[in-house]
Copies of this chain bind each other. A is one copy, B any other.
Amino acid sequence: MKLLIFAGALRADPCNKKFAREAMRHAAAAGHQCTFADLKDYPMPPYDGDIEAATGVPETAQKLGELIRNADALILSTPEYNGSIPGVLKNVIDWLSREKSVSLTGKHLLLLAASPGALGGVRSLWHTRQPLEVLGVHVFPGMMGLQNAYNAFDDQMRLKDEKTAQQLQKLLGQFLAHADLNVSRKAA
């Protein structure tokens, strides 16, 4: 499958990009064609109906929408800001939702979260599901929150803890099998 992987944060070096890339590494090793999209490369202003009326959906949002449209399945790792979805990620979703044909609709998506705290971003996971599901995304029921994420990766940006790495790999395997079944069947 063609997978698009991204993280819900802008910072150059956040734990969520590392977590997303770990998932990508495993998926690539399993033979999938993986693309990583860094939201920093797709800057867009806070949603403003006046901007939209004047100049339409920003090109960056259109380009990101195109990447999503071309992907068979998505993997998203999201931070937790104030016990909920990051505004910056929600803003990207809000712009994406303004395209006539919404790229996210009908896609299969695995939701991850990494957080420096003890709860692993679980409140963000559940708050992030909702707008995605409203847009018709098949968010995989299984999710994974990585706690204590600032200390979770080694110098090569790999998960230090073997059990955690296996947990990710197992969940990823389940998701990819499920998504693959849907994608290949539709293509058939």
**CB within 8 Å of B: which residues of A?**
9-12, 14, 40, 43-50, 81-94, 97, 118-120, 122-123, 126-127, 129-131, 133-139, 141-142, 147, 178, 181-182, 185-186
Contact = CB atoms under 8 A, between A and B. Distances in A.
Given A118-B147, A141-B133, A94 B83 contact: no
A87 B45 CA distance: 10
B94 A86 contact: yes
Given A10-B50, A118-B147, A122-B123, A97 B83 contact: no
A134 B83 contact: yes
B46 A91 contact: yes
Copies of this chain present: 4
Of A43, A46, A91, A186, the most chain B CB neighbours within 10 A belong to: A46
B9 A49 contact: yes
Given A87-B90, A181-B182, A49 B11 contact: yes
Given A87-B89, A94-B87, A131 B181 contact: no
| For the complex of A and B, 3 pairs with smallest distance between CB atoms | A87-B91, A87-B90, A83-B134
B82 A131 contact: yes
Contacts of A136: 141-142
29 contacts: A10-B46, A11-B50, A12-B50, A43-B46, A46-B46, A81-B94, A82-B93, A82-B94, A82-B134, A82-B135, A83-B134, A84-B130, A84-B131, A85-B85, A87-B88, A87-B91, A88-B91, A88-B94, A91-B91, A118-B120, A118-B147, A123-B123, A123-B126, A123-B130, A123-B134, A129-B133, A134-B141, A136-B142, A181-B181
